[in-house]
Amino acid sequence: MSEAPSETTASTQATVAPPTAKRSSSLLSTGVGRNLGLVVALVVLCIVGAVTAGDTFATGPNVLTILRLAAVIGVVSVGATFVVTGGGIDLSVGALVALSSVWATTLATQQLATDIHWIFMVSTALLVGAACGLVNGLLIAYGKIVPFIATLAMLAAARGLAEIISDRRTQIITDKSFLDFFGGSVIGVPVLVWMFVLVAAAGWVVLNRTTFGRRTFAVGGNAEAARLAGIKVQRHTVALYVVAGLCCGIAAVMLMARTNTGSATHGQLYELDSIAAVVIGGTLLSGGRGTIVGTVFGVLIFTTLNNVFTLNNLSISAQSVAKGAIIVIAVLLQQRLARRTTSS
């Protein structure tokens, strides 16, 4: 009889301990907890940059350089967030950026832009990106082709078409008004950075505050359940890839303005960078969970990392190794948190 209280106490302690662990793990699994971790990682990177690169890193011009570089891949990553959240993958984003930039800078297109308005070049880039995204979506949703294979085929086809159109030559932009507008600044911040902010803000609103966003989470979480709930899964899948293609078109315009050119070599390895930013940001590769805010932080982390490596004269190969390691760590953390959430 005297041992009963001790057993009760032990069992009580056993039942009291798990909620604490659950609270800590649940904090890590929330959007706020993940974003806080990203902020900490970004701050640590900035400290490392300031220590290793000295005054070169912690300067206004260098900060603007980081933001300007992050803007282009950031817009691509916003589109990729929609696709991955919806349960897909897009390996063609870099090639779509290249094709859009080449098509928008051909002599014929530039002549029309000169005669009419530079908005014609912008419209061409957006239409090419959206059209390629539409083809991706149709092949995946209605052609029943695995997203990896369909977008891999688009990567090869779009890059090849860009080389054919440009004859493997860099096309120089001659429309000065286009360059003046997109190369300018507003209150000291480059227009390209403002474009990234606007695209990210629009993406956040659409993903978190609209029916389209709710359907995206549903399709990515369980496509069959979404279909039974009345969502037109195939049509929605096509729309997701059109959004990604449109973002590639916007990124092409930004890259054209930054480099003053259209080229079949634009967007090299953007598929790696965008997927890395999305995964680091907390979007599940299996779909059903996505965050634009996390993606923005992911882009900033990788761009800052590249900047720190460059200022310290480290090779591109070392940067690639670091990116690969970070991606693996991020996926492992996602899997661990997913197991904890499932078990709880």
- φ, ψ at 335 (rounded to 5°): -65, -40
CB neighbour burial string for 329-340, b if at least 16 within 10 angstroms, e if fewer: ebeebbeebeeb
Closest by CA to 248, choosing from 151, 161, 127, 139, is 127
Averaged pLDDT, 199-204? 97
Say what the pLDDT of residue 8 is.
Answer: 42
Say what the pLDDT of residue 292 is.
Answer: 95
Q: Tens digit of pLDDT for each residue in 21-79?
A: 444 445 555 667 677 878 888 888 888 888 887 778 888 888 899 999 999 999 999 99
Say what the pLDDT of residue 320 is.
Answer: 75
CB neighbour burial string for 94-128, b if at least 16 within 10 angstroms, e if fewer: bbbbbbbbbbbbbeebbeebbeeebebbbbbbbbb
Cα dihedral 155, 161, 165, 171, rounded to 10, equals 10
Averaged pLDDT, 9-27? 45
Pick the range with the lowest mean pLDDT from 1-10, 210-219, 288-297: 1-10
Q: 276 versus 161: which is more confidently predicted? A: 161
pTM of the shown model:
0.86
Mean pLDDT of the chain: 86
pLDDT tier, 339 (very low <50, low <70, confident <90, very high otherwise): low
pLDDT at 340 over 70: no
Judge whether 267 and 95 are in contact, CB under 8 Å. yes
Q: 316 versus 204: which is more confidently predicted? A: 204
pLDDT at 141 over 60: yes
Helix (H) or strand (E) holding 85: helix 60-85
Cα 286 off chain centre by: 16
Helix (H) or strand (E) holding 189: strand 189-190
pLDDT at 7 over 70: no
Say what the pLDDT of residue 46 is.
Answer: 87
Other Cβ atoms closer than 10 A to 179: 16
Residues 6+ apart with CB under 8 A from 137: 237, 238, 239, 240, 241, 242
Distance in angstroms (rounded) separating the CA atoms of residues 310 and 329:
23
pLDDT tier, 334 (very low <50, low <70, confident <90, very high otherwise): low
Judge whether 41 and 299 are in contact, CB under 8 Å. no
pLDDT at 143 over 60: yes
